[in-house]
Structure 1
């Protein structure tokens, strides 16, 4: 807050206008500063919150789309299995218990685990 207590009066002094100015001229002098005060936090929030989340989502989509038959997956419901078939936006996987096959949409995949090759 000390920073704002110092900066805002300094900005107000630089935005000072002629005392004989009309109302329209007075409005225009501080208008950009008021607009900046509202836009700057929104831009900062976008950069801090939204951009990293988009990067994370893009990485997740790429990992899901690169899944191949034989990879192990974990669904958003917590089921674990091995991919046996991939068709467009659907994935069929085989659970480890009783080898039951389940078909789900790709968006329901939480994580893809690539097999370790030796």
Structure 2
């Protein structure tokens, strides 16, 4: 038996005694692949989504943030869907809360 037999089961003649032995050959491989995909892709993505949702729910006036586009600003006001950021002196932009990527430590933004 070689490694390729786990992916592609060998074809046996109809009357052969080994014909029924390979019927579950691919199932363990599929299960291992699903578990691997879960721990390498799905679980970390869910963790990042939960952290981002927490960040957006805790957003308040005075926080310094970075948007997805790389704009750094200080939060002036927050409502359900939008936040107003001051990106320079007397320059205020309105962005969607989903567009905010991360929160910076206090004093990072020199506005």
TM over 0.5: yes
Q: CA RMSD in A?
A: 2.5
Name which of 68, 80, 83 aligns with 2:75. Answer: 83
Stretches of structure 1 lacking an aligned partner (at least 5 in a row) = 9-18
Q: Does 1:101 align with 2:101?
A: no
Q: How far apart are the structure 2 equivalents of 1:68 and 1:114?
A: 13
Name which of 38, 43, 67 aligns with 2:59. Answer: 67
What is the SS of the residue equivalent to 2:83?
strand
The alignment's TM-score, normalised by the length of structure 2, stands at 0.71
Greater share of residues in helix = 1
Segments ≥4 residues shifted beyond 2 Å = 29-33, 113-116
Stretches of structure 2 lacking an aligned partner (at least 5 in a row) = 7-16
CA contact (8 A) 1:64 1:112 kept: no
* Greater gyration radius: 1
Q: How far apart are the structure 1 equivalents of 2:81 and 2:70?
A: 19
Q: How far apart are the structure 2 equivalents of 1:57 and 1:64?
A: 11
Offset of residue 78 of structure 1: 1.2
For this pair of structures, how many residues does the alignment match? 95
Q: How far apart are the structure 2 equivalents of 1:109 and 1:32?
A: 48
What is the SS of the residue equivalent to 1:33?
coil
Q: Does 1:53 align with 2:41?
A: no
What is the SS of the residue equivalent to 1:30?
coil
